Chain A
């Protein structure tokens, strides 16, 4: 069975600093997709970034980038120049075609950006 593990329940950094959130997963699939979702205090679930397993290049979206290590089954999220609005729960999620794209979620990391 596929699993997703986020080992950091909570992190806090100062505004403008860089922070990295960890995520590891376990799967025997070769063709899969990984996501980071953000859930701010409003509880809305917002897609941050997506990575296809077949792509070697790490995905980047503005201040957000990932470090995808396929052999190590690691998918960390780096937030550069952190802003107060980045304060949220961050969830790592995994899916693959054979599971009908059902998302498997990590437990989440609570990120607090301090002014």
Chain B
């Protein structure tokens, strides 16, 4: 158990709908990262938050947005869903101290299926 929690584990929805994925980082970790993993592919970095502020953006679609709340949990919002958005969505957290070694620990993922 990495200490990172994600809910829900599975999500099945229809095209055009909107969903929210939730992540709670490990205790003490300030940084949260979101990744997308499509079937049999590697991970694509979506976005990073550090202590409530957006720090880095990757290949995140405009239909997707995220935020990190004062208690450091994060939510990833996916809207106007398309079939191609079906994937495993991972959240990872790290301490992310400037100048220090940093390791990301991953949650169990949320499997999103868009029908």
Contacts and interface: CB of A to CB of B under 8 A. Distances in A.
Interface in B76-115: 88, 90, 92, 94, 96, 98-99, 101-106, 108-109, 111
Contacts of A86: none
A82 B108 CA distance: 24
A52 interface: yes
Contacts of A97: 98-99, 102
A38 to B, nearest CB: 11
Contacts of B103: 33, 35, 47, 50
A100 B42 contact: no
29 contacts: A33-B103, A35-B103, A43-B88, A43-B111, A44-B106, A44-B108, A44-B109, A45-B43, A45-B92, A50-B103, A91-B42, A97-B98, A97-B99, A99-B56, A100-B50, A100-B55, A100-B56, A101-B31, A101-B94, A101-B96, A101-B104, A102-B33, A102-B56, A103-B45, A103-B104, A104-B45, A106-B42, A107-B41, A107-B42
